[in-house]
Structure 1
Amino acid sequence: MPETDLDLLIKAARASGEIAKKFFQTEPKTWDKDDGAGPVTEADLAVNTYLEDVLRTARPEYGWLSEESLDDTKRQSNEYVFIIDPIDGTRSFIEGSRTWAHSLAIAREGRVTAAAVLLPMRDLMFSAALDQGATLNGRPLGVTGQDGFETSEILATRPALQSHHWRAGTAPEFSRHHRPSLAYRLALIAQGRFDAMLTLRPSWEWDIAAGALLVSEAGGTISDKTGRSLKFNNVDPRLNGVVAAGLNLHTKIIDKLAAT
């Protein structure tokens, strides 16, 4: 049988993990990107080189969007596009923390169809294909049914609590948590470990694409911060924030957010 897109992503993610492990906790060379875009290491670049070679060789007709590659807007003329973050959580990688991930997705005409998020140091492989459900190490995933703020466990950064983000001028009461990798945060929503995830700043597609499919295939709802459906492979690959949760809690979060 021909290799499916999901099989391709899973295999590539596992190989990426082996590459990254060779640099992990070895003080890899590190550079700061322009315009305060954060750090990049030789591990990020090595994984990106591997993925671009292997994935584009396997699917030469697919476009390419990666955090560590120069963007070519010709990708918009492709029906399918790879959306890749070679290492999501680079700062954690540099610090020697195990909470970093490889985030690999394929989108067709703006909609993600296959996704793999691997945390190699935790042996966690999250994967999903459109209309086929989401899994963690082969086990089916499902979001929580939480629908109230007061008892909810929500992944959010401190800036998301700032008053201008909320209609009432203050954030509702909830238990706030954080993980450095956006892809992992979304995977944890799909797993049901937390009730919701929200980031209210512009968010890069490569941080979100794979996790977005995990959430939706686990029965959750994901949108930008205004409630609009997410569309990928945009000319400007930034989304207007992200809110992910079960349907009821998602609706309540969107209702309380300022319409910006």
Structure 2
Amino acid sequence: MRLTDYETTGDDWSSDLALIESAAREAGAVALSHFGQDPEVWWKNGGQSPVSAADYAANECLESILTKARPDYGWLSEESQDDLKRLDKERAFVVDPIDGTRGFLGGQTNWVVSVAVVSGKRPVAGVLVAPALGDIYTAMEGGPAMLNGVAIHAADGDVGAGDEQLELCLPASLADRFHPRFRKRLKRAAYIPSLAYRLALVAEGRLDGTLVRPNSHDWDLAAADIILARAGAALLDDKGRALTYNRSGVRHGTLFAGNRRLVGTLLRQFGPPGQS
């Protein structure tokens, strides 16, 4: 890959999208070479979160390619020490070299390399590469969301009335906070370790929506956020606000994803903890 292939062109994000897609493909190949090979594992966050040699190798690949291509962009990755100089940058890469590490280590195939470009606190280009599945999700501001080069759209059914069942991926602790009548309409999908991939399935229309428990991070969300948006869906906080990225704090609260009508309904039907 030649760095000169990806010269910036104003606010046309196609060159950035091409760059991050190429880099994510390369990092995906690196991660895939460790898949099923019992890579060395360490534990972080007080022993709650695994990180493997595959995560670090993929991260090194991404950082080498992207920071050389765009030295004026900030860098935020789950597997790099946070350099707060990124806060002074208008644009930044937001990266998770393997989203769904637990699934990766357990032999599940639905893990992804997640890479986004953030400008003005919002993602403007995003890529999710799922090497073990052979799938690539892409989107940029002003363009469509795509899966393997074909445009995708979120499910767009009218959810304001009726008794149709809605398939959502969400933990029981959040499902229990919906009003009882609405809760009867919910079908809980099987748990997916990769949050980014789960959001991609919403963008693709394979899930109606998902709820995200508190303490997700920028790197889990940014690439999937732009893919959702360009697929006609939304990722909002519990106040109905779009997320912002590349701030000093990178954690988020309870989140809701789906088409905009569904998200509005979910927000209205969602209650405080302990609701019965």
CA contact (8 A) 1:144 1:192 kept: yes
Partner Cα separation in structure 1 for residue 22 and residue 5 of structure 2: 14
**Identical columns (%):** 36
RMSD of aligned residue pairs (Cα, Å): 1.8
Deviation at 1:158, TM superposition (A): 2.7
Indicate the residue corresponding to 1:258 in structure 2: 271
Deviation at 1:169, TM superposition (A): 7.5
Deviation at 1:222, TM superposition (A): 1.6
Deviation at 1:214, TM superposition (A): 0.6
Confirm whether residue 210 of structure 1 aligns to residue 210 of structure 2.
no
Indicate the residue corresponding to 1:18 in structure 2: 29
Paired residues for 1:148-227 under 5 Å: 148=159, 150-163=164-177, 166=178, 168=179, 172-173=183-184, 174-177=186-189, 178-227=191-240
Partner Cα separation in structure 1 for residue 231 and residue 247 of structure 2: 25
Indicate the residue corresponding to 1:236 in structure 2: 249
Partner Cα separation in structure 2 for residue 40 and residue 9 of structure 1: 22
Q: What's the TM-score once normalised by structure 2's chain length?
A: 0.88
Confirm whether residue 246 of structure 1 aligns to residue 239 of structure 2.
no
- Stretches of structure 2 that go unaligned for 5 or more consecutive residues are 7-14
SS in 1 for 2:165: coil
Per-residue CA deviations over 1:27-55 (Å, capped at 9, x if unaligned) read 10001113344000000000111111110
What is the count of residue pairs matched by the alignment? 257
Indicate the residue corresponding to 2:39 in structure 1: 28
Query: 2:230 is matched by which residue type in structure 1?
Result: E
Deviation at 1:259, TM superposition (A): 6.6
Q: Are residues 201 and 169 of structure 1, via their aligned partners in 2, closer, same or farther at CA, if it must alter by over 3 Å?
A: farther
Confirm whether residue 48 of structure 1 aligns to residue 62 of structure 2.
no
Deviation at 1:240, TM superposition (A): 1.6
Deviation at 1:161, TM superposition (A): 2.2
Deviation at 1:146, TM superposition (A): 2.6
Query: 1:228 is matched by which residue type in structure 2?
Result: R
CA contact (8 A) 1:182 1:208 kept: yes
SS in 2 for 1:35: coil
Deviation at 1:2, TM superposition (A): 4.9
Indicate the residue corresponding to 2:100 in structure 1: 89
Deviation at 1:248, TM superposition (A): 1.0
CA contact (8 A) 2:176 2:183 kept: no
Partner Cα separation in structure 1 for residue 101 and residue 182 of structure 2: 29
Larger Rg: 2
Q: Which one is further off, 149-158 or 213-222?
A: 149-158
Partner Cα separation in structure 2 for residue 50 and residue 170 of structure 1: 49
Per-residue CA deviations over 1:173-211 (Å, capped at 9, x if unaligned) read 301112111110111111111111111312111001100
Deviation at 1:224, TM superposition (A): 1.2
SS in 2 for 1:9: helix
Q: Are residues 32 and 231 of structure 1, via their aligned partners in 2, closer, same or farther at CA, if it must alter by over 3 Å?
A: same
Partner Cα separation in structure 2 for residue 128 and residue 80 of structure 1: 17
CA contact (8 A) 1:161 1:171 kept: no
SS in 2 for 1:227: coil
Indicate the residue corresponding to 2:89 in structure 1: 78
2:157 aligns with one of 132, 138, 146: 146
CA contact (8 A) 2:154 2:228 kept: yes
CA contact (8 A) 1:82 1:107 kept: yes
CA contact (8 A) 1:146 1:152 kept: no
Partner Cα separation in structure 1 for residue 246 and residue 182 of structure 2: 32
Query: 1:189 is matched by which residue type in structure 2?
Result: V
SS in 1 for 2:203: helix
Confirm whether residue 102 of structure 1 aligns to residue 113 of structure 2.
yes
Query: 1:65 is matched by which residue type in structure 2?
Result: L
